Chains A and B, each alone.
Chain A
Amino acid sequence: MSVAELKERHAAATATVNDLRERLKQKRQLLLDTDVASYALSHGRTPISFSSTDLVCCRTLRGHTGKVYSLDWTPERNRIVSASQDGRLIVWNALTSQKTHAIKLHCAWVMTCAFAPSGQSVACGGLDSACSIFNLNSQVDRDGNIPISRILTGHKGYVSSCQYVPDQETRLITSSGDQTCVLWDITTGQRISVFGGDFPSGHTADVLSLSINSANSNMFVSGSCDATARLWDIRIASRAVRTYHGHEGDVNTVKFFPDGQRFGTGSDDTTCRLFDMRTGHQLQVYSRPHENNDNDVPTVTSIAFSISGRLLFAGYSNGDCYVWDTLVAEVAFNLGTLQNSHEGRISCLGLSSDGSALCTGSWDKNLRIWAFGGHRMVI
């Protein structure tokens, strides 16, 4: 086929894609008869509110000498691993604030880290396009560093996010700037499945985040610079189960709702959204209230649901951390207004496994742990 013919085909295909997208948008719009907040308020649901002393910062974890990019809790709730631009992973005892491990990385440009289900290993990845595994019980080398126990290579772009499959010490999923996600066998270091890439219905731009469904670990959702989130079944790598449209910018973060039937997203378009996994419907948009200076609206960098799902914690690029009431789509509180809040972008956040503590990581080099310190009724 000649170049001229190819150009003609390209133009025709582009027009078809745009036409199909528009038709999809219109069809979804016809089904969008309400949203969660409108429905909840019309059925008498009332917002949750917090006083200024209800949410407190209980710990400040200081030790990184560079921006914090990622964090993860252990399943047994009392340890946190964090990754920083200083080229280190630090494992913290959340109770005492002490550092139990400080792992120097071969590649300082780390973007993500994760704890293994057992809490005995950590994984990290970044601009080296690989995922490195460290066993925390390993003997240190003569420089005092924990050696890499396994390195997972194969991505053709940076590793943006990694997560262990729940309850599986040897399975891990990564997302990458090469537009794919990969399921790995850590024991052999081999790729089990590749999601996207050459296959149809894969992401068409960098994949920035992923979240595995804790209620059904065969399913995970990914968020991408192509402004979509996609649902995958790890048993069927050949195509995405569903694509979720709605965002108007990079989808930086995705997180499953506690019951696994919905998931939340956060984007460069400054909104968080709630999607229904089964139908693909966008259930709610969580937009920041309009501020005076509309030119520089902060983007959403990270999200987490409270254990009931009623609250959505969202970290923003300006250091705000909104606590959204997901039922009525109102901001119940902004941790960024507290005196001891972060002084820079919130890059990551995560909830402990029992839901009692929220940890936030920031470009101000610190991590902070927040908990509810408000009134309880004595009965």
Chain B
Amino acid sequence: MAAAEGAVAPPPTAAPPPSPPRPKSPPGYPDLCGRRRLGAAVQVLDREIASLEADLQSLEGLESVSSCCQEYVRVNEFVGTNPDPFIHTTEKQKESHQVGKRFRMCFNFQWICCSNGFPPKAKRPICPLGQLKTLCCRRCHGGCNCCSCCDLSCCRVLCCSRPSCSCPEFSCGCICSCSKFTEKCSRRGCSSTSCISKCLC
């Protein structure tokens, strides 16, 4: 029987779409990477244990710190036999000698301080207190202004006062270094990465 004129035929019943393929669940393989990592970590700890046990053993019968301190103080008492260029002489050493005038002069060790124009073996100028600046002041490098000197420190080669300058802000770029690649980080004050423990900024 033909459908009545004007009637809308019901839509054909659509077959349900096939269900999408589902991947199979991964097989129950052992987590090899995790196991190896753990195994390596345990080995490191075992080595640390052996080392710490050896350290503990070495403490048996060890003398106390005070005997090491005694030795250290004794070593320092012999400073006079190995004079230290950074340590001034003491008052005690002048007792049995004629006391000379007190000058600021460049000593044997100050080869670098007073060598600008004064060969190490040449006689160095003595700058008594209150002497004119021209005796000792030197032209300063790099556009610095030569400050007043020689009233107390005539042996300064560079007596400049640095012109004030503003330092530009540098962004702290950190570099990560690994064996196979380098990657530039941009975080300021970045913390340790898996590649290196300290970032270079």
Q: Which residues of A contact B (CB under 8 A)?
A: 1-3, 6-7, 9-10, 13-14, 16-17, 20-21, 23-24, 27-28, 31-36, 38-40, 43, 45, 48, 53-60, 62, 78, 85, 94-95, 97, 109, 111, 127, 129, 156-158, 177, 199-202, 204-206, 208, 225, 239-240, 242-243, 250, 258-259, 261-262, 274, 276, 279-283, 306-311, 323, 326-327, 339-340, 343-344, 352, 354-358, 364, 369, 371-379
Q: Across the interface, do A356 and B109 meet the contact criterion of CB distance under 8 Å?
A: yes
**Bound-complex Cα distance A204 to B50 (A):** 13
Q: Across the interface, do B56 and A375 meet the contact criterion of CB distance under 8 Å?
A: no
Q: Of B39, B107, B182, which one neighbours A6 at CB under 8 angstroms? A: B39
With A111-B200, A375-B88 already in contact, the answer to whether A281 and B65 are too (CB < 8 A) is yes
Q: Of A9, A323, A355, A357, which one neighbours B42 at CB under 8 angstroms? A: A9
Q: Across the interface, do B157 and A58 meet the contact criterion of CB distance under 8 Å?
A: yes
Q: Across the interface, do B156 and A56 meet the contact criterion of CB distance under 8 Å?
A: yes
Task: Identify whether the interface residues of A are mostly helix, strand, loop, or mixed.
Answer: loop
Q: Across the interface, do A54 and B88 meet the contact criterion of CB distance under 8 Å?
A: yes
Task: Give the chain B neighbours of A283 by CB distance below 8 A.
Answer: 65, 68-69, 72
Q: Of A40, A78, A372, which one neighbours B110 at CB under 8 angstroms? A: A372
Q: Across the interface, do A156 and B179 meet the contact criterion of CB distance under 8 Å?
A: yes
With A17-B48, A158-B196, A310-B87 already in contact, the answer to whether A327 and B42 are too (CB < 8 A) is no
Q: Is B24 an interface residue (CB 8 A)?
A: no
Shortest 8 CB-CB contacts between residues of A and residues of B:
A378-B100, A13-B45, A356-B109, A308-B84, A20-B52, A201-B51, A39-B69, A356-B85
Q: Across the interface, do B49 and A20 meet the contact criterion of CB distance under 8 Å?
A: yes
Q: Across the interface, do B70 and A39 meet the contact criterion of CB distance under 8 Å?
A: yes
Q: Across the interface, do A24 and B55 meet the contact criterion of CB distance under 8 Å?
A: yes
Min CB gap A252→B, angstroms: 9
| Chain B contact residue count (CB 8 A cutoff) | 84
With A17-B49, A340-B160 already in contact, the answer to whether A357 and B56 are too (CB < 8 A) is no
With A279-B68, A308-B84, A311-B87 already in contact, the answer to whether A13 and B198 are too (CB < 8 A) is no
Task: Give the chain A neighbours of B75 by CB distance below 8 A.
Answer: 259, 261, 309
Q: Across the interface, do A376 and B85 meet the contact criterion of CB distance under 8 Å?
A: no
Which among B70, B99, B196 has the greatest number of chain A C-beta atoms within 10 A?
B196
Q: Chain B 10-42, CB within 8 Å of chain A: the 1/0 string?
A: 000000000000000000001100110011011
Task: Give the chain B neighbours of A129 by CB distance below 8 A.
Answer: 177, 179
**Bound-complex Cα distance A285 to B186 (A):** 36
- Chain B residue with the shortest CB-CB distance to A108: B175
Q: Across the interface, do A157 and B177 meet the contact criterion of CB distance under 8 Å?
A: yes
Q: Across the interface, do B158 and A340 meet the contact criterion of CB distance under 8 Å?
A: yes
Task: Give the chain B neighbours of A208 by CB distance below 8 A.
Answer: 198
Q: Is B89 an interface residue (CB 8 A)?
A: yes
Task: Give the chain B neighbours of A58 by CB distance below 8 A.
Answer: 110, 112-113, 156-158
